[in-house]
């Protein structure tokens, strides 16, 4: 992509009503557009980044046997009435609408009930189990407060997976596999050292659920953490009883601010009983399906990365998430066209090799090019100028490490294409 053609430009200021750092940075860098509080559109740079986040999750979910689906956003009222969760007292984030033809629909804030309903068409016998499916879906929630940029949207991206198992043992395997997949995902996002599996409010079946909490000043949660012992407890379940159960003392734990990037739930048999999802087990008995559900906030993830990996110059993406892998920057010499010719040749060559490259071919000052590159935050930057040309090499700059070195074209191609 030529930066001269890239839709959008960077801007000096974010809208004055935007209070969150992640959205301010992402708006200024041209990744997102604010539609209203809690509602943002993805522009080319933002969409590419979000797609890379999704791709990492997709690869790791596929690796543990997940199969991707996509469910609808419009949901029938009746299936939520059956479980009592159509009630606005119980679920305070519903968006609902009247159908012109009569009746009401809900906008998907979760897919637990709809997917359970759908599985009635597909799960009959123990031979059909386990089923493990996931989707990337825009969830719609009437959140009361939406001041955390893309970390708390009224419309936001989520990966949600659901497991359907023949008994607890089968369920436990998927649950454990998912924990490992999540750990790999957060490793690839570069936040493993600040993300902790946390004991959290449980829900119907288990005493605790597990959340994945990332240390982040812009988060909305607090956890009590002991890094050495790798124990984290959500403030919401912090009590003498919890401490005793987990065998820790309050003095050993530090209260830190975090953002919930993911969570996993074991529903036991309760959810399937509520939904009415039964199958015939090996003994031929009618049995409720053992269900689990597993979320990761994909747009929140992008917001968290923008928060925790940025510096005073702008965004700093980890390589796997960076909207482009390569940022090729031409510094045009005043008297010669050699640098431009060379940059054009290299850009075309990289494209023909299938490289993921943004090429700053614009006729603007070097200062502006570097300021924009710092703001956009692409991880690998390569500079071509008269100076690098006469050295017969290319200048490489790592946005994450802040280091510069000279490399050959061959090295660029081998390492970054
Ligand atoms: N309003 C939101 N905007 C962006 N991401 C969200 C939002 N609500 C939840 N998420 C993300 O989706 C994941 C799964 O959703 P889930 O319904 O389990 O979250 P939640 O418990 O409602 O989260 P929270 O406590 O932050 O409201 C969360 O772990 C979080 O990463
Ligand atoms: Mg919520």
Q: Which of 13-17, 178-182, 226-230 is modeled with the greatest confidence?
A: 178-182
Would residue 321 count as lying in a domain?
Answer: no
Q: Does residue 317 lie within any of the structural domains?
A: no
Q: Which ligand is nearest to the CA of 234?
A: 1
Distance 86 CA to ligand 2 centre (A): 16
Residue 409 lies in a domain: yes
Percent of the chain, pLDDT > 70? 99
Taking CA atoms only, the protein residue closest to ligand 1 atom 26 is 260
**Distance between CA atoms of residues 3 and 279, nearest Å:** 56
Q: How confident is the model at residue 335 (pLDDT cuts 50, 70, 90)?
A: low
CB 113 within 8 A of CB 83: yes
On whether both 304 and 331 belong to a single domain, the answer is no
- For residue 4, the model assigns a pLDDT of 97
End of a domain among 308, 334, 350?
308
* Same domain membership, residue 388 and residue 275: no
Residue whose CA lies nearest to ligand 1 atom number 14: 295
260 lines ligand 1 (CB under 6 A): yes
Q: Which DSSP string corresponds to 132-164? A: EEEEEEEEE---S---SGGGS-SEEEEEEEEEE
**Whether residue 213 has pLDDT greater than 80:** yes
Higher pLDDT, 277 or 336: 277
Residue 163 and residue 292 in one domain: yes
145, 297, 302, best to mutate for ligand 1 pocket (most atoms within 8 Å of CB)? 297
For residues 299 and 387, state if they share a domain. Answer: no
Q: Say if residue 30 is in the same domain as residue 178.
A: yes
Non-local CB neighbours of 164 within 8 Å, separated by 6+ positions: 119, 123, 129, 130, 131, 132, 277, 289, 290, 291
Q: What is the pLDDT of residue 204?
A: 66
- Does residue 112's CB lie within 6 angstroms of at least one atom of ligand 1? no
Distance 297 CA to ligand 1 centre (A): 6
Answer whether 141 contacts ligand 1 (Cβ < 6 A).
Answer: yes
Q: How far apart are CA 316 and CA 313, in angstroms?
A: 9
- For residues 218 and 347, membership in a common domain is answered with no
Instruction: Give the number of domains in the chain.
Output: 2
Q: According to the model, what pLDDT value does residue 337 have? A: 74
Residue 377 maps to which CATH number?
A: 3.40.50.800
Q: Is a pLDDT exceeding 70 seen at residue 55?
A: yes
Boundary of a domain, candidates 308, 337, 361: 308
How far apart CA 174 and CA 76 sit, in angstroms, is 29
The per-residue pLDDT for range 127-175, each reduced to its tens digit, is 999 999 999 999 999 999 999 999 999 999 999 999 999 999 999 999 9
Residue 209 Cβ < 6 Å to ligand 1: no
**Mean pLDDT estimate for the chain:** 96
143 lines ligand 1 (CB under 6 A): yes
| CB of 297 shorter than 6 A to ligand 1 | yes
The per-residue pLDDT for 310 is 98
The pLDDT score that the predictor gives to residue 332 is: 85
Quickly state the pLDDT bin for 336 (edges 50, 70, 90). low
Residue with tokens 């929140």: 300
Q: Which of 240, 275, 308 is the last residue of a domain?
A: 308
| pLDDT greater than 70 at residue 203 | no
> Cβ(156) to ligand 1 under 6 A?
yes
Q: Contacts by 307-313 with C-beta closer than 8 Å and gap 24+?
A: 307/21, 307/22, 307/151, 307/216, 307/217, 307/218, 307/259, 308/191, 308/194, 308/214, 308/215, 308/216, 309/190, 309/377, 309/400, 310/21, 310/25, 310/377, 313/371, 313/374, 313/375
Residue 319 lies in a domain: no
- The Cα–Cα gap between 340 and 345 comes to 8
Longest CA pairwise span in the chain (Å): 85
> Is residue 8 domain-resident?
no
Report residue 298's pLDDT band, with 50, 70 and 90 as the boundaries: very high
Check pLDDT > 70 for residue 97.
yes
Are both 215 and 146 inside the same structural domain?
yes
Cα 148 to averaged position of ligand 2 atoms, centre (Å): 13
Whether residue 262 sits in one domain with residue 207: yes
Residue 10 lies in a domain: no
Domain check: are 206 and 348 in the same one?
no
Residue nearest to atom 3 of ligand 1 (CA): 152
Q: How many CB atoms lie within 10 A of CB 182?
A: 23
Residues 291 and 366 both lie in one domain: no
Query: Which H or E run contains 303?
Result: helix 298-308
Which CATH number goes with the domain that contains 222? 3.30.930.10
Ligand nearest to the CA of 182: 1
> d(Cα 191, Cα 310) in Å, to the nearest integer?
13
For residue 153, the ligand 1 atom closest to its alpha carbon is 3
Report the distance separating Cα 38 and Cα 17, nearest Å. Answer: 12
- Looking at the fold, whether 334 and 409 belong to one and the same domain comes out as yes
Average pLDDT, integer, range 264-291: 97
Range 224-248 average pLDDT: 95
Percent residues over pLDDT 90 in the chain:
97
365/396 same-domain check: yes
CB 295 within 8 A of CB 160: yes
pLDDT of residue 312: 97
The domain of 303 spans 21-308
Is residue 391 in a domain? yes
Q: Is residue 231 part of a domain?
A: yes
Mutate to test the pocket of ligand 1, among 26, 158, 212 (most ligand atoms within 8 A of CB): 158
Q: Whose CA is nearest to atom 30 of ligand 1?
A: 297
Cα separation, 265 vs 276, whole angstroms:
19
State residue 262's pLDDT score: 98
Which pLDDT score is estimated for 227?
95
């Amino acid at each position: 992509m030529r930066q001269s053609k890239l839709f959008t430009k960077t801007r000096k200021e974010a809208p004055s009503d935007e209070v969150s750092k992640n959205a301010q940075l992402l708006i200024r860098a041209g990744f997102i557009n604010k539609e209203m509080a809690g509602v943002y559109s993805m522009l080319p740079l933002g969409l590419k980044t979000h797609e890379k986040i999704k791709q990492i999750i997709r690869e790791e979910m596929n690796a543990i046997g997940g199969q991707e689906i996509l469910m609808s956003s419009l949901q029938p009222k009746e299936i939520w009435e059956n479980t009592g969760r159509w009630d606005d007292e119980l679920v305070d984030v519903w968006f609902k609408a009247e159908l012109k033809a009569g009746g009401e629909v809900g906008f998907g804030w979760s897919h637990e009930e709809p997917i359970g309903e759908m599985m009635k068409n597909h799960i009959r016998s123990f031979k059909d189990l386990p089923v493990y499916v996931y989707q990337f879906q825009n969830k719609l929630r009437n959140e009361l407060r939406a001041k955390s940029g893309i970390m708390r949207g009224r419309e936001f991206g989520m990966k949600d997976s659901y497991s359907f198992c023949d008994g607890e043992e089968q369920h436990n395997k998927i649950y454990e596999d998912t924990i490992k997949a999540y750990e790999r995902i957060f490793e690839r996002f570069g936040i493993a050292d600040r993300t902790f599996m946390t004991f959290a409010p449980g829900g119907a079946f288990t005493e605790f659920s597990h959340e994945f909490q990332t240390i982040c000043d812009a988060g909305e949660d607090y956890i009590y953490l002991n890094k050495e012992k790798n124990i984290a407890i959500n403030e919401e379940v912090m009590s003498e009883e919890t401490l005793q159960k987990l065998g820790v003392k309050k003095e050993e734990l530090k209260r830190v601010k975090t953002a919930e990037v993911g969570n996993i739930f074991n529903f036991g048999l309760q959810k399937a009983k509520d939904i009415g999802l039964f199958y015939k087990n090996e003994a031929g008995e009618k049995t409720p399906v053992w269900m689990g559900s597993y979320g990761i906030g994909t747009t929140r993830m992008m917001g968290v990365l923008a928060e925790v990996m940025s510096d005073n110059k702008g965004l700093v993406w980890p390589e796997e998430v960076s909207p482009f892998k390569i940022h090729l920057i031409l510094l045009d010499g005043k008297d010669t066209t050699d640098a431009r010719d060379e940059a054009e040749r290299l850009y075309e060559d990289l494209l023909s090799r299938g490289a993921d490259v943004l090429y700053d071919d614009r006729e603007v000052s070097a200062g502006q090019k570097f300021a924009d590159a710092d703001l956009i935050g692409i991880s690998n930057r390569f500079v071509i100028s008269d100076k690098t040309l006469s050295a017969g090499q290319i200048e490489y700059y790592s946005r994450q490490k802040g280091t510069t070195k000279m490399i050959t074209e061959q090295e660029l191609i081998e390492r970054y294409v």
